[in-house]
Amino acid sequence: MTRKLLQIVAFSLLLLSYALAASAQSCQAAVVKRHNATTLYSKRDLAGAITELRYAIQLCPSEPFYHFMLGNALYRAGELKGSAAEYEEFLVSRPSHLEGHMSLGFTLFELGEKNRAVEEWTAAVREDPRSPFAHSALAVGLYSTGDPDNAVIQCEVAAALDPRYRNADELAIDIRWKPAVRLILSDVIRLSDSRKEN
């Protein structure tokens, strides 16, 4: 009985070693796919980048960052629902990733899910309270959901952390604010300025 059990254990370990080796090879192939995707993305070939990233995820599903990259490519391609799903998948493994919350928030905002966007931007502020980008995004979300008082507070925190966050047009150069979001931020900045004058 003991000898038979040892044989089963030895055989199981052998199978496990083959599986681990195959998994390592798949993940190495996925790195190549990720590199290809990065090159295609930089050349604005979003369809090619999306295909490569989906294949990388199939090859190495244990790497959560591929979901984040795919979310970025899908966002740029205008596939917002797919983008949101990839960011959500990424955040399951990396719940403390600031940029993951920011990206999901912007995607949800564009999908019209403003309350959920506020939740993501609140999580981003919680992850990095020194991020003016997170505070200003939260200001936009709060203002859009009917909370101008807290929007102004977030706007002022962002400006205190980085004075450039007092000018929405200047920010458009540095970060990926879309025109509609930039207009909302401008409204919040004007509201903040008018309250200081009174």
Domain holding 140, by residue range, is: 95-198
Average pLDDT over residues 71-96: 96
Name which residue leads in pLDDT, 160 or 37.
160
Most confident among 50-59, 170-179, 188-197 (mean pLDDT): 50-59
Residue 79 and residue 110 in one domain: no
Amino acid at 8: I
Phi, psi of 96 (to 5 degrees): -105, 15
- pLDDT value at position 7? 57
Name which residue leads in pLDDT, 2 or 5.
2
- pLDDT value at position 16? 37
Residue 87 and residue 101 in one domain: no
Residue 88 and residue 129 in one domain: no
- 167-179, pLDDT tens digit by residue? 766 665 556 677 7
Which one of 43, 75, 94 terminates a domain? 94
58-84 as b/e, with b when 16 or more CB fall inside 10 Å? ebbeebbebbbbbbbbbbeeebbebbb
Average pLDDT over residues 22-51: 74
Which one of 66, 94, 122 terminates a domain? 94
Q: Which CATH number fits the domain that encloses residue 168?
A: 1.25.40.10
DSSP-derived secondary structure for 111-126: TT-HHHHHHHHHHHHH
Residue 12 and residue 84 in one domain: yes
Most confident among 27-36, 62-71, 125-134 (mean pLDDT): 125-134
Residue 125 and residue 164 in one domain: yes
Residue 82 and residue 101 in one domain: no
Residue 70 and residue 153 in one domain: no
Which one of 53, 72, 94 terminates a domain? 94
- Number of domains making up the chain: 2
Rounded to whole angstroms, the Cα distance separating 101 from 27 reads 26
Residue 89 and residue 106 in one domain: no
- pLDDT value at position 1? 54
Q: Which residues contact 167 (CB under 8 A, 6 or more apart)?
A: 189
- pLDDT value at position 167? 76
Residue 170 and residue 113 in one domain: yes
